Structure 1
Amino acid sequence: MNGFAATDMRLPAYIRLRDTFTARIARGEWTPDAPIPSEARLANEFDVSIGTVRKAVDGLVEEGLLERRQGSGTRVRAPSFDATLFRFFPIRETDGSPLSIPSSQIILRSVTEAPDKAAQVLGTRDVIKIVRLRCLSDQPVLFEEIYIPTSRFAGFDTLPEASLGPLLYPLYFEHFGVMVKRAADEVSFGQAPERVAQRLQIPPGDPLAVIERTAFDIENTPIEWRIASGSAKKFRYRSEIN
């Protein structure tokens, strides 16, 4: 079989095909802007059965890299972590309706040297630091310090202000071809230092919820490390076990 990405030949064909499709997404050959080739075309290209192609595609749909759209084929799924950190801070509008995407105020963008934890996670000290404040209904909720490797995001610090929306993950993909596949959060608690308290409009020393997030690309390489801080008085955690 021709065209497969370099992989272990002992693996089943559908797994090797899935890895090949993943590589195409990583290289930007497949994007959310257009459907991927039909199953019949892919089966012909790789000289495999349509069933093998479908199994490979099904795997990527389950992983969240592809999505099937009724009437428009199968496409790369655009990064969508719209307000995931806000599951810990369930603030609603005054009429009780849920909020959508929180607003974002960029305070700082600069090329700098990563602190130890960020360097350890990202594997480099050459990073771009982003500092921003997230608000819901003009009320500060999260203060974020974000680090991304300069090698993957060169020029982020000079992007026009108008191109910076409230969501970073779609921006990473649109401008740098870096797709966030998953993110891992670790929650801890402490007291608000003065600089964070000032941004969140809470008294210094107030209880603080701290969420450390590492985001990974589709090859499971860490591409972002952030610390998000919010008032622990508003923090909520809910887990359903079936």
Structure 2
Amino acid sequence: MADGSSGDSAPYLRVAARLRSRIADGIWTPGGRLPSRGELGAEFGVGENVVRRAQELLISTGLLEGRAGSGTYVRAPFERRPLLRTPSAAGLPYSGLAPFGFTGTWEADSTAKAEAPPLIAARLGVKAGDPCVRTSYEFLSARQPVMLTTSWEPMAVTGGSVVVLPEGGPLAGHGVVARMAHLGITVARVVESPRPVHVDRDQAHLLGIATGSQATLIERTHYDTGGRPVETADILIPADRWDITYDIALPGT
């Protein structure tokens, strides 16, 4: 068989070798979708879990990528992009959701009256379990997720207003600063704390990368003029896709 394999290696390693060979031989080309795990398992005489482990191994090495709800694909070369954190990127407020120069789209899903987990509650200065609006964002490029954000806003701040949903109402998609201004609240500062993380299984599934892949988590919080937190978010950035850049204007320039 042209794929070749080692008879004494673990089953998933043998399957990974055969998948790798087909990619190297050009049988499967960049961007192409692989057969289903069931089809591959039947062909190779192994279970779907063995195929899954083989695919995860090749995802971790950058040969394959998973796409939530779609399947597994041969990974095309990915162009790294700058993730510019600046007060005026593209004319947006500092907290603009879309990265500077981003030409893709995003999908958002909001849940009202979501109970604040303890860590989120601490960042917002509310009690654990207090009602918030939680909004999950998936940023898409060529219909593939490239970044995830989860935002939390206390309903004590926005509840009952026309801007309670970040992606609904008259200021849908305008960002935290503009929506808070509509309520007479001035956002005075934003604090961001980046730290390295490894993505969990659910995050990896959404991003089409291997569980445990490296990423940067930015914990971002908006504060009003009185120092009250009005929004906090976790921004998850895969390390192999973005170059995070802070553009900071100095006083007097």
- Tell me, yes or no, if the aligned pair for 1:185 and 1:213 is still in contact at 8 Å: yes
Match of residue 140, structure 1, among 140, 145, 152: 145
The number of equivalent residue pairs is 155
- Tell me, yes or no, if the aligned pair for 2:221 and 2:232 is still in contact at 8 Å: yes
- Tell me, yes or no, if the aligned pair for 2:176 and 2:231 is still in contact at 8 Å: no
Summarize the alignment of residues 1-242 of structure 1 with structure 2, pairs less than 5 Å apart. Answer: 80-81=93-94, 83=96, 86=99, 98-99=101-102, 103-125=105-127, 126=130, 127-136=132-141, 138-155=143-160, 161=168, 163=170, 165-173=172-180, 175-238=182-245
| Rg (Cα) greater in structure | 2
* SS of equivalent to 1:131: strand
- The 1-side partners of 2:247 and 2:170 are apart by 38
Identical aligned pairs, as a percentage? 19
- The 1-side partners of 2:107 and 2:185 are apart by 22
- The 2-side partners of 1:144 and 1:240 are apart by 21
For the aligned residue pairs, the C-alpha RMSD in angstroms reads: 3.4
- Tell me, yes or no, if the aligned pair for 2:106 and 2:139 is still in contact at 8 Å: yes
Change (3 A) 1:235 1:213: same
Which structure shows the bigger proportion of residues in helix conformation?
Answer: 1
Q: TM-score, normalised by structure 2?
A: 0.51
- Tell me, yes or no, if the aligned pair for 1:172 and 1:179 is still in contact at 8 Å: no
- The 1-side partners of 2:236 and 2:201 are apart by 12
- Tell me, yes or no, if the aligned pair for 1:79 and 1:180 is still in contact at 8 Å: no
In structure 2, stretches of 5+ residues that fail to align are: 1-86
Instruction: Report deviation, 1:231.
Output: 0.7
* Deviation string, structure 1 residues 43-98 (Cα, Å, up to 9, x no partner): xxxxxxxxxxxxxxxxxxxxx9xxxxxxxxxxxxx9722647736xxxxxxxxxx3
Change (3 A) 1:148 1:219: same
Instruction: Report deviation, 1:136.
Output: 4.4
* Deviation string, structure 1 residues 176-197 (Cα, Å, up to 9, x no partner): 3333222111111121112212
Q: TM-score, normalised by structure 1?
A: 0.53
In structure 1, stretches of 5+ residues that fail to align are: 1-63, 65-77, 88-97
Instruction: Report deviation, 1:240.
Output: 8.0
Instruction: Report deviation, 1:237.
Output: 3.6
- The 1-side partners of 2:148 and 2:197 are apart by 14
